[in-house]
Amino acid sequence: MTNDKLDDWLEIGKIVAPQGLSGELRVYPVSDFPERFEVPGKRWLLRLGDTEPQPIELLTGRYISNKNLYVIKLAGVENCDQAEALRGCKLMVPASDRPQLGEDEYHVLDLIGLEVFMQASGELVGTVVDIIPAGNDLLEVKLHKSFATDKKQKTVLIPFVQAIAPVVDLPSGRIEITPPPGLLEINN
């Protein structure tokens, strides 16, 4: 079931639980931009089962670093019951509202699905299936069957740094890597 309407929206976080008794909400972020949760203003709420997000006003937000959560206050959500009713809802912004990126910055969603090639040989390594946030982001690459020498190993983690992934070509959907010797075997 694809919903074309939702192509115009970016999910920025998911409401996971009420926080306290005054209607605050815990949000698990899927956006790298703190201002999405900290700067008051209009956001959109996608309720479970709905196909169209509804506008809602973000009043305040703060980051709880040891939990990787934001605690936010939404207009009109004043008690624990109202907050509980929003559990599982998604916070959205219009896709056109992407922050401008610097030259070597990419949106995580843009990287997933790209094919990864060895720069030197042009050999297909596999496809990016996930990005793991670490000090440097790691690309989780599902190995192409011709490349997976060890059949048990399905994926490999590749540091997403200029030295190892010098070419990211979004229009043609490819990343070229120059891994140091042994990098692709490190996960065995």
Per DSSP, the residues of 50-113 read -SS-EEEEEEEEEEEGGGTEEEEEETT--SHHHHHTTTT-EEEEEGGGPPPP-TT---HHHHTT
Torsion of CA 93, 96, 101, 103, to 10 degrees: 150
Of residues 150 and 47, more confidence is placed in 47
Strand-pair category, 174-177 with 115-118: parallel
The answer to whether residue 103 scores a pLDDT higher than 70 is no
Mean pLDDT, rounded, for 112-140: 89
Q: What is the pLDDT of residue 128?
A: 94
Q: Are 56 and 42 in contact (CB under 8 A)?
A: yes
Q: Tens digit of pLDDT for each residue in 26-54? A: 999 987 788 899 999 999 999 988 989 99
Residue 3, pLDDT above cutoff 80: no
Task: Check residue 127 and give its pLDDT.
Answer: 95
Above pLDDT 90, what percent of the chain?
A: 50
pLDDT at res. 100: 64
Q: Does 187 score more than 60 pLDDT?
A: no
**Interval 9-31: pLDDT, tens:** 888 999 999 999 999 999 999 87
pTM exceeds 0.85: no
Q: Mention every residue, 6+ apart, whose C-beta is less than 8 A from residue 79.
A: 21, 22, 23
Residue whose C-alpha is closest to residue 91's, from 160, 41, 23, 165: 41
Task: Answer whether residue 97 shows pLDDT above 50.
Answer: yes
Within 8 A by CB and 6+ apart from 44, the residues are 9, 53, 54, 55, 56, 91, 92, 93, 94
Q: 3-state DSSP call for residue 149?
A: coil
- In this prediction, residue 186 has a pLDDT band, given cuts at 50, 70 and 90, of very low
Q: Phi/psi zone of residue 180: left (φ > 0), alpha (ψ -120 to 50 degrees), beta?
A: beta
